A and B are shown apart, each in its own frame.
Chain A
Amino acid sequence: MLVIEHLDAGYKNKQVLKEINLTFAEGGFITLMGANGCGKSTLLHCISGLLTPSNGHIQLNESNLLAMKRKEVAQRLALLPQVATTPSGLTARELIMQGRFPWQNWWRQWSAADEKAVNDAIEVTNVGDYLDLPLEQLSGGQRQRCWIAMTLAQDTPILLLDEPTTYLDVSHQVELMNLIASLKLKGKTIIAVLHDLNQAATYSDHLVMMKKGEIYTQGKVQDVFTKENLKAVFDLDANIITDPFHGTPLALPIVEMNPNSTSSIDDVAVNHPHHER
């Protein structure tokens, strides 16, 4: 269980997070959402130890995360930051092997446990076909799979993912989200920042909506992903319908093109039985 209490954080002259209180149970897929600059990434950075909060407490099970050494934190939480650049001169395998960094030191080099963690990560992410190719030669989707594999090789119970699908084609986004959702079944707790509303609603178990550095609301997707909350958090006018295949809510932004198109969206929404709540 990950407990965040009274957390304040920010950069030099700008406070970003104010009085954050959150509790995450073990397992499941949690998504942090909110408009740009609301502090989602900052919160991820605080949890993973990249940013020291000015105030507050973060507790993971019995231990105080803020008092831990960096490597100890990295043995419990794996962070995949927003990666814009590809490290040069590395093959996919060499990247994935770096995930073992927190488990190694000068007197304990590459071990059987390291080998196993890397092979497991390779198998789960299905990157076996291009392990020995340089990262520069891979597609964006393949490369992102390798990054996920690296965080998996870190062998932590919790994964923190900062907009893992940015810069990817639609089909690759779906592939990657399916992969990430499947990790949940392996007992991982996934805490992700996603900017695609419908991806968040489809894949998450729990949503945390943030606004201006504070938690606006949080809860189960069905309870939180509402027209009113989307308006308040994103200033977005959208209708909510239910995905007929997955039963999860979907947001359809109201398009102001011509009267016919808006009314047809309303028709769909109103005609759908699940919408009446």
Chain B
Amino acid sequence: MMQSQRKHHAERRFPTLKLTGVVLLLLAVVVASFWHLSLGAKSIDWTTIWQALVAYDPTNSDHAIIRESRQARLIVSLVVGAALALAGVIMQAISTNPLADPGLLGINSGAAFFVVASTLFLPMIAPQYLPIFAFLGAAIAALIVILLSGWEQNAERLVLAGVAVTAMFSAMTAILLLIDQQGLDKLRHWLTGAIGASDLDKLHWVYPYLLGAMVFSFLLVRSLNAFHLGSRVAEGLGVNVLLLKITGLTLVIMLSGAVVAVAGPIGFVGLVVPHIARLLVRNNYIWLFLYALLLGALLLIVSDIAARMVLRPYEINTGIITAFVGAPVFIALVLRKMK
């Protein structure tokens, strides 16, 4: 008995298995990144990619392609995937709802509507303020969903409210685009979640918010672990549940708003990745967060590769690929819940 207790003690200090998982995922992300960088009109071999990254030679045209064009797309994919996945984990945790996802709950489409509206009606506003509108839209959508579903939501009502709000904002966005045909061309691509259309400049506007939200998320880990036992148990343990929910929701709004401002409303990453992460690490939000960040980045890189491979030489929007992956998972989750 003593021996087994000591063993577990040691195991708690050195979570070897979970760390190995993190390292493996990290490796997978690196490999996928190289693959991602190698793809394009001209395929470039991995040695050249490596040289372009570590010993950049601007006169070498291959190096220039990697650094000037492809690298940006990769970084956007990495960041967007990680942020969406983290937003999904937090959203599912604070709503105790396995179907919660910033995309399904209308938060992404609210942000998208506000971005579209601001670019059409307030063209004189500098583009670096775009994320502010995205946050505003995300926050308003979240508030409407909460009002419609009640604070102590049940799962079905929350998802229904989310579907309704998504439909409403999508319809409003469509109306705006009908009014302004030129805007349509400019924004249509972005609206289905286009990694290809985004660039590093957009990422520069939002990275302070993204980085801040990601770091701050880890401060919630202990409270989220307690909250996992149930709202009342958590309160009995000393968690301020209302504060936890408000903080969590704010982080979700910041993460998804920033992503929408950069790459448009990419759906289902926040739904799928938390479930995969939970299959791998079961509980403890510090690991769930780490795994979700890596898995989200991986999923988005692979989706972006698929977006360019499936219908060559045409390119599909990355958001369409994630929807292809995510929709079946969503249906499976709903079916399991109904049983």
Interface residues of A (CB under 8 A from B): 48-50, 69-75, 78-81, 83, 85, 87-90, 93-95, 98-99, 101-102, 104, 106, 110, 115, 119, 128, 131-132, 154, 160
Check A78 against B236 for contact (C-beta < 8 Å).
Answer: yes
Q: Is the CB of B238 within 8 A of A71?
A: yes
A99 to B240, CA, bound (A): 16
Determine whether the beta carbon of B230 is less than 8 Å from that of A99: no
* Residue B200 lies at the interface, judged by CB distance under 8 Å to chain A: no
CA of A75 to CA of B226, assembled, Å: 15
Question: A106 to B239, Cβ gap below 8 A?
Answer: no
CB distance from B215 to the nearest CB of A (A): 13
Complex Cα distance, B235 from A101, in Å, reads 11
B229–A87 CB distance below 8 A? yes
- Binary contact track B201-235/A, C-beta < 8 Å → 1, others 0: 00000000000000000010010011011101101
Contact B230 A83 (CB under 8 A): yes
DSSP majority for the B interface? helix
Partner of B237, one of A85, A90, A94, A98: A98
**Nearest opposing residue in chain B for A68, CB measure:** B238
Complex CA gap A93/B5 in Å reads: 11
Size class of the B contact interface (CB-based, 8 Å): 20 to 34
Q: Looking at chain A's contact residues, is the secondary structure mostly helix, strand, loop, or mixed?
A: mixed
A-contact bits for B86-106, CB 8 A (1 contact / 0 none): 000000000000000000000
Question: B1 an interface residue at 8 Å Cβ cutoff?
Answer: yes
Residues A87 and B12 in contact in the complex (CB < 8 Å), given A50-B235, A70-B238: no
Q: Which of A74, A83, A85, A90 contacts B238 (CB 8 A)?
A: A74
**Interface core residue of A88, A89, A93, A106 (most chain B CB under 10 Å):** A89
| CA A99 to CA B236, docked complex, whole Å | 10
Q: Would you give the shortest CB distance from B105 to chain A, in whole angstroms?
A: 21
A50 x B232 contact (CB < 8 A): yes
Known: A89-B283, A106-B219, A115-B9. A95 touches B236 (CB 8 A): no
Task: Decide if A48 touches B236 in the complex (CB within 8 Å).
Answer: yes
Q: List 25 contacting pairs A-B, 8 Å CB cutoff, sorted by A.
A: A48-B236, A70-B235, A70-B240, A72-B238, A73-B238, A79-B233, A79-B235, A80-B236, A81-B232, A81-B236, A83-B230, A87-B228, A89-B282, A89-B283, A90-B283, A98-B229, A101-B222, A101-B237, A101-B238, A101-B239, A102-B237, A104-B222, A119-B5, A128-B1, A132-B8
B278 sits at the interface (CB 8 A): yes
A101 touches B226 (CB 8 A): yes
A160 to B232 Cα, complex, angstroms? 13
Q: Which residue of A lies closest to B236 (CB)?
A: A79
Which of B219, B222, B238 has the largest count of A CB atoms less than 10 A from its CB? B238
When C-beta atoms are compared, the residue in chain B nearest to A69 turns out to be B238
What's the least CB distance linking B152 to chain A, in Å? 11
Smallest CB-CB separation from A70: which chain B residue? Answer: B238
B8–A93 touching, CB < 8 Å: yes
